[in-house]
């Protein structure tokens, strides 16, 4: 039987983090270490930044047990319960908790500002932390991405905590936020949820846990804002006259208008303007003036792997993006076409999960039609069963795109992808690599090869 899953993080503990190199676990490890906890960890990937910060990390973590003296184990959702370190913890009666529950423990006693939604959580949380830091509010923050403008670790002096609230595994139900943002709700993580109805119910349950202010995209006013049990005040944002914060685009420029005031931004795309409008609602609730918010937004340079400009070799713009859902792909391609006006827009899209590709195959093909040329490497497998692996492939996606009249090709390895794009791309083209898998390493290699 697993040890009672309660870890008091109110005073320094010796903790071991399994999957410490994950997007959420990595900043959490640094934050805990900065607050006096003694942290070690294990992962299958190198974590040089953690080691440089004095956090020992054991590679090939699946082969190792639990270090001596550990008082608690935190593991990511990807770590199986038969992991040797978890088995070791069971034998020693050491508490074992998932990452999401540990963040819930950490947030107790803090004024938590949570950002939820199918898309945009990382960017919106980073924007929120940046804006509040610029306004002198000095929050702590947990952001699952590389943000050069946010110091690491994310320890602030105030009791405010800005944190991503992920819907996968119902992780966000471990939080009890003072304020929360819900950017959008769509069908995703269908390897965990049955359908959109079940996903929406999870967001409704999350929203009932918010105490003061619930900030919603205007499309969610009925399904979430007026759901039973919601006790927080509701404020909506969006482009319609019915939105509490009505935003309008700035033609030819990135950013938005609210009641005649301009909010210029470096981040392209109206989806990022919507993210910023949600941040504006929270910042105003905390007492920040709109002029100060506008200034902070204008100086925010973005998050790594979120339409990140990698370089412009030979006049070819190389961009990297984390998009792995059809809506994200379509929004990213649209933003690049509007902001960079490419001669041709290329996308190297690596599907993330066979299960997701299988369920959204027509939608992915339609989204990729926003590019002029589409290159599809092999699918990145994660939590996929044999049925999904056998049911769909990158070739199927290429065939769908071609069936819609698009220019698409499947290339079986990243070396071949780089060689193909390097020989075919011309000055004035924009090449974006997209996906949540190891395609993230391709943009830098491509830029070097050009």
257 shares its domain with 288? yes
85 shares its domain with 146? no
Instruction: Indicate the pLDDT class of residue 63, thresholds 50, 70 and 90.
Output: low
- Asked whether residue 396 is domain-assigned, the answer is yes
Task: Among 102, 131, 166, give the residue marking a domain's end.
Answer: 102
64 shares its domain with 177? no
Q: How far apart are CA 254 and CA 324, in angstroms?
A: 23
Instruction: Indicate the pLDDT class of residue 78, thresholds 50, 70 and 90.
Output: confident
Task: Among 233, 264, 298, give the residue marking a domain's end.
Answer: 298
- pLDDT for 45: 85
- Asked whether residue 2 is domain-assigned, the answer is no
Residue 164 pLDDT > 90:
yes
Residue 64 pLDDT > 70:
no
Residue 179 pLDDT > 70:
yes
Q: Is the separation of the CB atoms in 394 and 400 below 8 Å? A: no
124 shares its domain with 268? yes
Instruction: Indicate the pLDDT class of residue 61, thresholds 50, 70 and 90.
Output: low
Give the list of residues 6+ apart from residue 207 with CB closer than 8 angstroms, or none.
180, 182, 214, 224, 225, 227, 229, 230, 232
Tell me whether residue 30 is one of the annotated catalytic residues. no
* 300 burial level (CB within 10 Å; 0-12, 13-18, 19+): buried
Give the list of residues 6+ apart from residue 446 with CB closer than 8 angstroms, or none.
310, 318, 348, 418, 421, 422, 431, 433
Give the list of residues 6+ apart from residue 369 with CB closer than 8 angstroms, or none.
401, 404, 405, 406
More confident residue, 272 or 46: 272
Residue holding tokens 């193909």?
A: 420
Task: Among 298, 317, 341, give the residue marking a domain's end.
Answer: 298
- Asked whether residue 250 is domain-assigned, the answer is yes
119 shares its domain with 90? no
Q: Is the separation of the CB atoms in 88 and 2 below 8 Å? A: no
pLDDT tens sequence across 215-243 = 999 999 999 999 999 999 999 999 999 99
118 shares its domain with 97? no
State the catalytic residue, choosing from 23, 112, 118, 122.
Answer: 122
The percent of residues above 90 in pLDDT, for the chain, comes to: 91
- Asked whether residue 409 is domain-assigned, the answer is yes
**Torsion sign (Cα): 353, 354, 360, 365:** positive
State the catalytic residue, choosing from 164, 167, 218, 328.
Answer: 164
Taking residue 209's Cβ as centre, other Cβ atoms within 10 Å add up to 21
Q: Tell me which residue range forms the domain holding 245.
A: 109-298
Mean pLDDT value of segment 197-224: 97
154 shares its domain with 213? yes
267: CATH? 3.40.1190.10
Roughly what angle, to the nearest 10 degrees, separates helices 270-285 and 326-340? 100
φ/ψ of residue 138, rounded to 5 = 50, 60
pLDDT tens sequence across 376-389 = 999 999 889 999 99
- Asked whether residue 210 is domain-assigned, the answer is yes
Residue 62 pLDDT > 60:
no
**Torsion sign (Cα): 283, 284, 286, 287:** positive
- Asked whether residue 9 is domain-assigned, the answer is no
Q: How far apart are CA 215 and CA 223, in angstroms?
A: 13
136 shares its domain with 284? yes
Taking residue 340's Cβ as centre, other Cβ atoms within 10 Å add up to 18
Q: How far apart are CA 144 and CA 44, in angstroms?
A: 18
395: CATH? 3.90.190.20
- pLDDT for 46: 85
77 shares its domain with 129? no
Mean pLDDT value of segment 237-250: 97
Residue 1 pLDDT > 70:
no
128 shares its domain with 265? yes
73: CATH? 3.40.50.720
Residue 442 pLDDT > 80:
yes
- Tell me which residue of 147, 219, 209, 213 sits closest to 183, measured CA to CA: 219
- pLDDT for 66: 85
Q: Is the peptide bond before 153 cis (omega within 30 degrees of 0)?
A: yes
Tell me whether residue 68 is one of the annotated catalytic residues. no
Tell me whether residue 122 is one of the annotated catalytic residues. yes
- Asked whether residue 356 is domain-assigned, the answer is yes
- pLDDT for 32: 96
Residue 80 pLDDT > 70:
yes
pLDDT tens sequence across 281-326 = 999 999 999 999 999 999 999 999 999 999 999 999 999 999 999 9
State the catalytic residue, choosing from 23, 58, 118, 121.
Answer: 121
Residue 2 pLDDT > 70:
no
70 shares its domain with 134? no
Q: Is the separation of the CB atoms in 222 and 235 below 8 Å? A: no
Q: How many distinct structural domains can be found in the chain? A: 3
137 shares its domain with 281? yes
Mean pLDDT value of segment 112-136: 98
Q: Is the separation of the CB atoms in 402 and 408 below 8 Å? A: yes
Q: Across all residues in the chain, what is the average pLDDT?
A: 95
- Asked whether residue 381 is domain-assigned, the answer is yes
Q: How far apart are CA 268 and CA 338, in angstroms?
A: 8
């Amino acid at each position: 039987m697993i040890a009672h899953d309660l870890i008091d993080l109110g005073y320094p503990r010796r903790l071991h983090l399994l999957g410490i190199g994950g997007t959420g676990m990595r900043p959490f490890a640094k934050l805990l270490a900065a607050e006096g906890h003694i942290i070690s960890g294990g992962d299958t990937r190198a974590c040089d930044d953690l080691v440089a910060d004095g956090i020992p990390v054991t590679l090939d973590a699946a082969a190792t047990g639990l270090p001596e003296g550990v008082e608690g184990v935190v593991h990511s959702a990807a770590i199986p319960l038969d992991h040797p370190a978890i088995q070791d913890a069971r034998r020693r009666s050491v508490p074992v908790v998932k990452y999401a529950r540990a963040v819930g423990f950490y947030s107790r006693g803090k004024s938590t500002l949570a950002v939820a939604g199918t898309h945009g959580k990382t960017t919106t949380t980073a924007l929120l932390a940046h804006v509040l830091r610029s306004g002198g509010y000095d929050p702590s923050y947990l952001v699952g991405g590389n943000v050069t403008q946010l110091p690491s670790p994310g320890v602030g002096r105030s009791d405010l905590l800005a944190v991503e609230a992920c819907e996968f595994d119902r992780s966000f139900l471990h939080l009890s936020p003072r304020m929360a943002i819900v950017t959008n709700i769509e069908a995703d993580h269908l390897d965990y949820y049955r359908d959109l109805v079940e996903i929406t119910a999870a967001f409704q349950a999350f929203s009932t846990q918010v105490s003061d202010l619930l900030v919603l995209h205007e499309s969610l006013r009925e399904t979430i804002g007026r759901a039973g049990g919601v006790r927080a005040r509701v404020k909506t944002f969006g482009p319609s006259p019915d939105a509490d914060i009505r935003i309008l685009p700035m033609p030819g420029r990135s950013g938005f208008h609210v009641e005649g005031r301009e909010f210029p931004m470096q981040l392209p795309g109206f989806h990022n303007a919507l993210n910023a409008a949600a941040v504006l609602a929270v910042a105003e609730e905390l007492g920040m003036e709109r002029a100060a918010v506008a200034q902070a937004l204008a100086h925010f340079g973005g998050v790594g792997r979120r339409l990140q400009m990698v370089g412009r070799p030979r006049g070819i713009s190389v961009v990297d993006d984390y998009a792995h859902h059809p809506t994200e792909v379509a929004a990213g391609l649209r933003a690049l076409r509007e902001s960079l006006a490419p001669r041709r827009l290329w996308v190297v899209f690596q599907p993330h999960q066979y299960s997701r590709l299988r369920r959204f195959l027509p939608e992915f093909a339609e989204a990729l039609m926003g590019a002029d040329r589409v290159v599809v490497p092999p699918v990145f497998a994660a939590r996929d069963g044999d049925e999904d692996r056998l049911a769909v492939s990158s070739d199927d996606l290429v065939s769908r795109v071609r069936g819609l009249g698009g220019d698409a090709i499947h290339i079986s390895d990243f070396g071949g992808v780089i060689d193909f794009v390097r020989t075919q791309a011309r000055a004035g083209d924009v090449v974006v690599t997209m996906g949540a898998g190891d395609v993230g390493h391709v943009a830098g290699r491509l830029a070097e090869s050009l």
